[in-house]
């Protein structure tokens, strides 16, 4: 089958704002966004860089771009624009850390190319209650997804940020109990400490690889949540770039059956 190669979409930076000490919000605009689906908030896109970490404007034949995955936090179709929140992290190795470095230096008028959007798994809206767990990289996705839940939805949101000033206000059903963690607090310990509610939950987890594995052990093995009632994804791994993380994730998926 002759599958059509996806073409990159060209976007321009409209603004860059430090929303909290460790989060940089970039607003991007472009003609291509007019075709994005209305429900693309929470979906992922991939930013394209060359091997030196420069944002790519045009694809070069035979050269594979370096890709970095981010979430559409907010879609503003009337302005053909999206907001993307980048966690700030410093990588001394100049061979990686491209996305965080780009976001830190981005200014209005800069150009960048993306692929996507791609959806993440749907939440079962008919669940009796919801258990959402995220670190800062998944805060944009959680923020987008939680506001789509039924108004009377109840459950927990356990979110870890780098410092207390990174806590954000989130639009969510009033039946949610929020627990914010900082620094060394453990996502899994905090999740396990929440009293289990009656009925069948939908579990939504996105965070770093090691925490994801601890949380998977809890929800899948101890609480016996079946595959259709859980979205569990590792968004990054300490000490490896996104490319290394992808390979580790594939291995883990094979051995864990996920």
Q: Which of 16, 20, 27, 69 binds ligand FAD (CB under 6 A)?
A: 69
CA distance 45 to 79: 18
Comparing CB distances to ligand FAD, the nearer of 97 and 175 is 97
CA-CA distance, 82 to 29, in Å (whole number)?
7
Angle at 154 between CA 132 and CA 167, to 5 degrees: 50
**Is 239 among the residues that bind ligand FAD (CB under 6 A)?**
yes
Q: What residues numbered 75-94 form the site for ligand FAD, per CB under 6 A?
A: 85-87, 89, 91
42 near ligand FAD, judged by CB under 6 A: no
CA angle 180, 184, 185 (to 5 degrees): 40
Which of 74, 237 has the CB closer to ligand FAD? 237
Nearest to 49 by CA among 85, 3, 95: 95
182 binds ligand FAD (CB under 6 A): no
139 vs 84: CA distance, rounded Å: 11
| Under rule CB under 6 A, residue 175 binds ligand FAD | no
> Could you tell me if 166 and 142 are in contact, meaning their C-beta atoms sit under 8 angstroms apart?
no
Is 28 in contact with 112 (CB distance < 8 Å)?
yes
* Half-sphere exposure (Cβ direction) of 223: Cα atoms closer than 13 Å: 25
User: Does 240 help bind ligand FAD (rule: CB under 6 A)?
Assistant: yes
140 near ligand FAD, judged by CB under 6 A? yes
Residue 187 in contact with ligand FAD, rule: CB under 6 A: no
Residue from 97, 104, 154, 186 in contact with ligand FAD (CB under 6 A): 97
Region binding ligand FAD by CB under 6 A among candidate stretches 149-157, 170-178, 190-198, 230-238: 230-238
Q: Which two tokens stand for residue 142?
A: 């959680």
70 contributes a contact to ligand FAD by CB under 6 A: yes
Binding site for ligand FAD (CB under 6 A): 44, 68-71, 85-87, 89, 91, 96-100, 137, 140, 235-242
């Amino acid at each position: 089958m002759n599958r059509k190669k996806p073409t990159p979409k060209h976007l321009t930076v409209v603004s860059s704002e430090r929303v909290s000490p460790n989060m940089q919000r970039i607003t991007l605009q472009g003609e291509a966004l007019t075709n994005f689906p209305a429900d693309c908030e929470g979906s992922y896109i991939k930013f394209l860089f060359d091997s030196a970490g420069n944002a790519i404007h045009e694809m070069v034949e035979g050269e594979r771009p370096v890709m970095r995955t981010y979430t559409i936090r907010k879609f503003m179709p009337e302005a053909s624009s999206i907001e993307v929140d980048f966690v700030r992290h410093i990588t001394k190795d100049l061979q990686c850390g491209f996305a965080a470095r780009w976001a830190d230096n981005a200014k209005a008028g800069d150009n960048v190319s993306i692929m996507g959007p791609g959806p993440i798994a749907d939440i079962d809206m008919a669940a009796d209650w919801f258990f959402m767990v995220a670190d800062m990289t998944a805060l944009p996705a959680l923020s987008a997804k939680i506001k789509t839940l039924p108004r009377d939805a109840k459950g927990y949101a356990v979110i870890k940020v780098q410092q207390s000033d990174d806590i954000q206000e989130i639009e969510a059903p009033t039946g949610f109990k929020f627990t914010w963690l900082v620094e060394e607090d453990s996502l899994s310990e905090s999740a396990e400490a929440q009293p289990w509610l009656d009925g069948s939950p939908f579990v939504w987890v996105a965070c770093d690889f090691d925490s994801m594995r601890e949380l998977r052990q809890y929800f899948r093995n101890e609480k016996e949540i079946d595959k259709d009632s859980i979205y569990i994804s590792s968004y990054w791994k300490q000490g490896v770039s996104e490319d290394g993380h992808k390979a580790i994730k594939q291995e883990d998926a094979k051995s864990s059956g996920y």
